[in-house]
Structure 1
Amino acid sequence: MNRALQAGCAALIATLAAAPVLAQTPYPTKPVRILTGSPPGAPSDMVARILAQQLGDKLKQSFVVENRPGANNGLAASQAARADADGYTLLVTPDTVVTVNPLLYKKMEFDPRADLVPVARVASFNQMLVCNSALKIANVAQLVTRSREKTLTYASGGLGSPGHLAAAMFLSGAGITMDHIPYKGPSPALSDVMGGQVDCGFLTTPTVLPNIQAGRLTALAVSSSKPSPMAPNVPTLTQVGLPDIDASFSQYLMTPKGTPDAIVSMLQNSVREALADPAVRERLQALDLTPVEENAAASRTRLTQDTTKWSAVVKRLNIQPE
């Protein structure tokens, strides 16, 4: 055998010998960050912390939640998109980062539809329409009547946030107008509705429910076509006579584009196992989050469909950057 052939054979043998080692490279070997664009206690944060515990238990490594609120969840998404695509930076975010933000923020530092890859759709959630109790508005019919008598205001967690979108769809369907007061997150929005600086708002059920129970807020409806797991007695918009409105949203686990398929698959399988656990499902439902088991491929399809849906809504309702 000549030297050239011997060298070629040696190289091939070395490559084949190394292949299993590369394929079996362990993950994770160090702590993993899970970024979320919500402050502590918001839906994304809740999902992130549940996943951090579950993924840590299953993959035998620390998963640490880091809150990066700002830009309607866009700050955390931007940092995740620019991170190394090695599986050590993950993102838990509502779908609006991908489906709506690009429509309303013209100068984004990244393209969420190209730079982020879904691992799994984890849960769906809705918004609850509440008003300050001092207004003495007991139901949607009374809100419609009052809004035609005087100009009312509504708060949201920001331009293009789930609360803003749900309110815009509701107002269009009900044929009324209210002045939008956007805030930098749901917490200050809730504070001003409770304080009476703003009349009403579409906000997440876990944040408003204690104030409803305390009598500071009145619950009028939930934004999805299905009742809230936490407040099943609050009517849906369909039940109050607006059958064509379903403003529900989703929470996703995502990675930077280019993350190895093997890592995405490992994370996807771990999420699926976690969501199959009755205790995990019960924890999510107790936070008004409906568990969803959708893999990466199904999640990509869902995001594409919801992008089409919300693009039409933003255009039809003429929602403009503010």
Structure 2
Amino acid sequence: MKRRALCGALVMGAVALASPLAGAAGYPERPVKVIVSLPPGSGADTTARFLAQHLTQQLGQPFVVENKPGANSFIAARAVAEAAPDGYTMFVASNSPMVTNAAIFKKLPYDPIHDFMPVASIGRFPMIVVVPANSPYKTLPALVAAMKEAPAKLNFASGTPAYQIAMEQLHEMNGVKGTVVNYKGTGPAITDLAAGVCDYSIAEVSSVLPLIQGGKLRALAVADSQRHRDLPDVPTAAEVGNKGYEAYAWTGVYFPAKVPKEIAQRVGDIVRTTLNGPEGTAFITKMGGTVFTGTAQQFADFQYAEIEKTRRIVKVANIPVE
């Protein structure tokens, strides 16, 4: 009897150990919700729909994008954080809810580290330092020199907290100060900059490229390790004296914490294979970025490092924490 009971226990234990794998093998058995914190037509939304199409094709169940914009991405992030950890709620998130919010808010209705499981990074999109087309500043060193001559006199348009933080990092590296003019969105900020209301700004490449190419803005530097393919004559920040300065917007895939690792691995593998293939590379390139993939652990380490760096800049620059 004892031997039979022991055998039964071992069998039950084996079933329990095998159940996550079995669940992963059959995953998904119903539609998967893909939450985005930005409205339809945004970069994150477009990316989510691209990946959802490929995941649907590969896994045989619909991956359905659901937009939950507003409230500094709190609504979307909280919906994912509170979802069942079964693999049927996915988050295509930008750096704003997963990094910036952690640095500029004292309390969040979610924890960007502990409430989520990083699955795969997607792409990163370099920021560009820009001035009005008729600005007297032809280069980034000329702009920096002007700020040194008149501390805090020049003002910069900031469409999002992430852009303000990126600009304050550049200020810190050069020992200068500017006066921030905050806007409710990148569009109004860049429109006012082009009209000469502000002196300079920084924004993700897709937000400013049309105005640069249209002669409304002048690009001074690319905050990337290499020149941008659409702006071959614009130097990187490092080329003009700002070694190591890089600033990006980025996107990645997350599940709620405690989703079976086998499910996360399966989805992550498809995302990485898709992005590193010709269609995925062409898609990210068309959006102005570069494919940015790696293991789930590399993505988690990257996010943590970005939070620490951002918090330091917020503190040094005395950016108000809400």
TM-score range, shorter chain: 0.7 to 0.9
**CA deviation string 1:194-226 (max 9, x = no partner):** 344433321111121111111111111122232
Q: 122-131 vs 221-230, which deviates more?
A: 221-230
Q: CA deviation at 1:315?
A: 2.8
Does the 8 Å CA contact 1:154/1:181 hold for their aligned counterparts? yes
Report the Cα distance in structure 1 between the residues aligned to 2:177 and 2:16, rounded to whole angstroms. Answer: 66
Q: How does 1:1-322 map to 2 (within 5 A)?
A: 23-25=21-23, 26-147=26-147, 148=149, 151-159=153-161, 161=162, 163-321=163-321
Structure 1 counterpart SS, 2:34:
strand
TM-score, with normalisation over the residues of structure 2? 0.85
Q: Pick which of 306-315 and 259-268 moved more.
A: 306-315
* Deviation per residue, 1:27-71 (Å, 9 max, x gap): 223332222233445443343232222222211222233333334
1:10 shift after superposition: 7.0
1:39–1:212 Cα change, 3 Å: farther
Pairwise CA distance, 1:293: 2.3
Aligned-pair identity in percent equals 31
Structure 2 regions of 5+ residues with no counterpart?
A: none
Separation in 2, partners of 1:67, 1:17: 38
TM-score scaled by length of structure 1 = 0.85
RMSD: 2.9
Give me the whole-angstrom Cα distance separating, in 1, the residues matched to 2:47 and 2:295.
16
Cα drift, residue 153 of structure 1: 2.3
2-side partners of 1:144 and 1:18: how far apart? Answer: 62
AA partner of residue 56 (structure 1): T
d(CA) in 1 for partners of 2:15 and 2:260?
Answer: 21
Give the 3-state SS of the residue equivalent to 1:64 in structure 2: strand
Whole-Å separation in 1 of the counterparts to 2:110 and 2:177: 34
Paired residues of 1:38 and 1:68 also in contact (CA < 8 A):
yes
- The Cα of 1:97 is off from its aligned counterpart by 3.0
Uncovered stretches (5+) of structure 1, i.e. residues with no partner = none
| Displacement after TM superposition at 1:16 (Å) | 6.3
Q: Is the 8 A contact 1:97 1:112 kept in 2?
A: yes
CA distance change for structure 1 residues 104 and 180 in 2, over 3 Å: closer, same or farther? same
Give the letter for the 1:257 counterpart.
Answer: A
Matched letter for residue 66 of structure 1: E
Q: Distance in 1 between matches of 2:16 and 2:174?
A: 65
Moved more, 34-43 or 56-65: 34-43
Cα distance in structure 2, aligned partners of 1:18 and 1:101: 38
Q: Distance in 1 between matches of 2:12 and 2:224?
A: 58
Deviation at 1:108, TM superposition (A): 1.1
After superposition, the Cα gap between the structure-2 partners of 1:101 and 1:215, relative to the gap in structure 1 and judged at 3 Å, is same
Q: Offset of 1:187 from its aligned partner?
A: 2.8
More displaced, 180-189 or 259-268?
Answer: 180-189
